[in-house]
Amino acid sequence: MEPKYYKQYFMKPFNFTNLDNVLTNKYYEKVDPLEYNIVLNQMGRAHSQDMSKGDCFTFDSCNYTSFYSRIEHWKCDENTQEHIYKTSSSNNAFKAVNRLVCRSSQNCLNDDDPDVGDFRDRIMGKQIFYSGTGIVYNTTLKTWFYTMDFTQGSCSPQSKDDKSIISASHTFKYENDKEVLFLANFFNSNETIQSFRIYLNQMNYKMNILYSSDSSKTSNGVYSYNTRIFSPCDYYYFKVITNSGKQIRYPTTGYLRIVDNQEKLLWNSNNNQGKLKANALN
């Protein structure tokens, strides 16, 4: 993660201010991107569902089961760290993350402010390697509940599939639900991208580099594609072809789905809107 580019592309468009004093080089060096972990995703989603159903907002479960018991139940690293967030004003994940980074609605606290909290340390921590986020919407409360979990060690054995596309998903373009934004993070200094495309409803489109992670020395960076031509439940996946001829697909099998702002993102086993197999990136 390169803080200056993250702020440029994902904080400034939301009118956050004082960004020159946020995620500064003095306190945070550039770090490798966090790898998506399905168990952390499932654990985070389960807690968001619990908070939504029980109308509570706490690290412990609504029935008072402790946070540490919950971590043990999911067989996660005992050093798992968690952040929770709820909002009724927006379901945009970037805005939720940015509120936690900023610690303010708009004018962000300085890195050295005693009230800045520890979220910046989580996302920029050199000893944090995996993350998963669960988002649930309560239609009665008209509130989104977020749970974001981070660990040093994977909560379950990660598959041996190629992890060059370290994470990928979609969001809506700066709170504009008429335009969907696809994002993918490529991280493999040993491979150079020849082609990076998103396959969306029998069509495919070029993923363009949004920003490089290392001043274009390698193909590492964040890639994007946005469009107004989509429908809820459209399926998609990403594919990279490297100069060495290697083909890398994300997800390795199945598809991701576009959903509206009240539903979870699903991973499906086939392109016929088949049986739900597992939760994916939220």
- Looking at the structure, tell me whether residues 210 and 122 fall in a common domain: no
Walking along the chain (282 residues) 10 residues at a time, the average pLDDT comes out as 86 92 92 86 94 96 94 85 87 81 91 91 88 90 92 72 86 78 93 96 94 88 94 93 95 85 48 32 30
- Looking at the structure, tell me whether residues 274 and 185 fall in a common domain: yes
Q: Which residue, 171, 93, 161, is CA-closest to 133?
A: 93
| Site of tokens 């970037």 | 94
Q: Is residue 157 part of a domain?
A: no
- Looking at the structure, tell me whether residues 50 and 97 fall in a common domain: yes
Q: How many domains does the chain have?
A: 2
Q: Which of 151, 182, 210 is the last residue of a domain?
A: 151
Q: Which of 120, 151, 182 is the last residue of a domain?
A: 151
What sign does the CA torsion over 262, 149, 66, 158 have?
positive
- Looking at the structure, tell me whether residues 20 and 119 fall in a common domain: yes
- Looking at the structure, tell me whether residues 92 and 117 fall in a common domain: yes
35-36 vs 130-138, strand pairing mode = parallel
Q: Is residue 156 part of a domain?
A: no
162 CB neighbour count, 10 Å cutoff: 16
- Looking at the structure, tell me whether residues 139 and 175 fall in a common domain: no
Q: Which of 104, 120, 151 is the last residue of a domain?
A: 151
The pTM of the full predicted model, rounded to 2 decimals, is: 0.82
Domain containing residue 49: CATH number:
3.40.33.10
| Site of tokens 């991280």 | 187
Q: Is residue 100 part of a domain?
A: yes
- Residue 246 belongs to what domain range? 165-279
Specify the pLDDT at position 260: 57
CB 242 within 8 A of CB 5: no
